[in-house]
């Protein structure tokens, strides 16, 4: 069925709005939306698992043999599936506050429905606790993400080890400097960058899977269960490292809902 002139006009208006917010000049609103979302939503979730795997073995003092690697990968896979997909995508994103997401917006929504009484005090207390955890996540995530990425230089050349910390500080300073331009500026800058990055990871990952197809067995949760059972109390340290793979899920949800709201306007 051909689109009516009115529908075309509405789509054009939406495309202009998304161009203003994401900096992507696309005739398709969905293309602009997806590219902008890559820059401001999925960047953190896409980088966190990379350094999580290493931290699991460092924190737990575990030998990275075949069995342990499968167990660690299984833990990461199920953590992302349950926390990001099930918790945030299926449940949290359905409980929005007039299009706003995140712990602060949900706390305000809950307080409006529970005015007065001990329940309001309990909700406010949980909201403050959740906000504190969110701020903690926001503080450590950029530093860990950038440091984990730049530490890869040591693998290419051990002589570059002394440059890791200065480069990390420089990158962090640059990142915080561009944040003053807002979501539109970040999406305009990092959308294409993250697209190239994810495509590169997909190609490299596919090549490694073809070379070692047995790694796909990590999808089975029994590897994670056996891994934790073997580690005993050390499993608590392992869990602390596994949590790193879902850092940024809260902020990513807030940004995703903002992008969705921009597309609906």
Q: How confident is the model at residue 29 (pLDDT cuts 50, 70, 90)?
A: low
> Which residues have CB under 8 Å from 72's CB, separation 6+?
53, 56, 57, 62, 64, 227, 238
pLDDT of 21 over the 50 cut:
no
pLDDT of 216 over the 80 cut:
yes
Tokens 């807030």 belong to 254
What percent of the chain is modeled with pLDDT above 70?
Answer: 73
Q: Distance between CA atoms of 158 and 30, rounded to whole angstroms?
A: 44
Average pLDDT over residues 172-182: 78
Q: How confident is the model at residue 18 (pLDDT cuts 50, 70, 90)?
A: very low
pTM of the full structure:
0.70
| Angle ∠(87,39,174) on CA atoms, nearest 5 | 120
pLDDT value, residue 8: 42
Comparison of pLDDT for 188 and 127, the residue scoring more: 127
pLDDT of 194 over the 60 cut:
yes
- For residue 224, give both structure tokens: 């994670």
Average pLDDT over residues 242-256: 74
- For residue 33, give both structure tokens: 């939306």
Q: Distance between CA atoms of 84 and 247, rounded to whole angstroms?
A: 10
pLDDT value, residue 5: 42
Q: Distance between CA atoms of 77 and 82, rounded to whole angstroms?
A: 9
> Which residues have CB under 8 Å from 60's CB, separation 6+?
231, 234, 235, 237, 238, 241
């Amino acid at each position: 069925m051909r689109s009516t002139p009115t529908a075309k006009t509405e789509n054009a208006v939406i495309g202009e709005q998304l161009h203003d917010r994401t900096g992507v000049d696309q005739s398709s609103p969905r293309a602009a939306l997806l590219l902008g979302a890559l820059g401001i939503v999925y960047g953190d979730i896409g980088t966190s698992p990379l350094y999580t795997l290493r931290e699991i073995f460092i924190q737990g003092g575990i030998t990275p043999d075949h069995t342990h690697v499968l167990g660690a990968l299984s833990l990461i896979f199920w953590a992302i599936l349950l926390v990001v997909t099930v918790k945030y995508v299926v449940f949290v994103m359905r409980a929005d506050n007039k299009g706003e997401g995140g712990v602060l917006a949900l706390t305000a929504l809950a307080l409006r429905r529970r005015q007065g009484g001990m329940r309001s005090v309990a909700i406010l207390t949980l909201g403050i606790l959740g906000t504190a955890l969110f701020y903690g996540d926001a503080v450590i995530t950029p530093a860990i993400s950038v440091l984990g990425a730049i530490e890869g230089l040591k693998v290419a050349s051990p002589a570059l080890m002394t440059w890791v910390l200065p480069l990390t500080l420089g990158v962090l300073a640059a990142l915080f400097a561009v944040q003053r331009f807002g979501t539109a500026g970040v999406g305009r800058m990092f959308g294409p960058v993250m697209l190239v990055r994810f495509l590169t990871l997909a190609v490299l990952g596919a090549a490694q899977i073809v070379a070692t197809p047995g790694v796909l067995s990590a999808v089975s949760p029994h590897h994670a269960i056996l891994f934790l059972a073997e580690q005993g109390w050390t499993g608590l340290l392992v869990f602390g490292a596994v949590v790193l793979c879902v850092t940024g899920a809260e902020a990513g949800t807030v940004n995703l809902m903002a992008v969705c709201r921009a597309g609906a306007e």
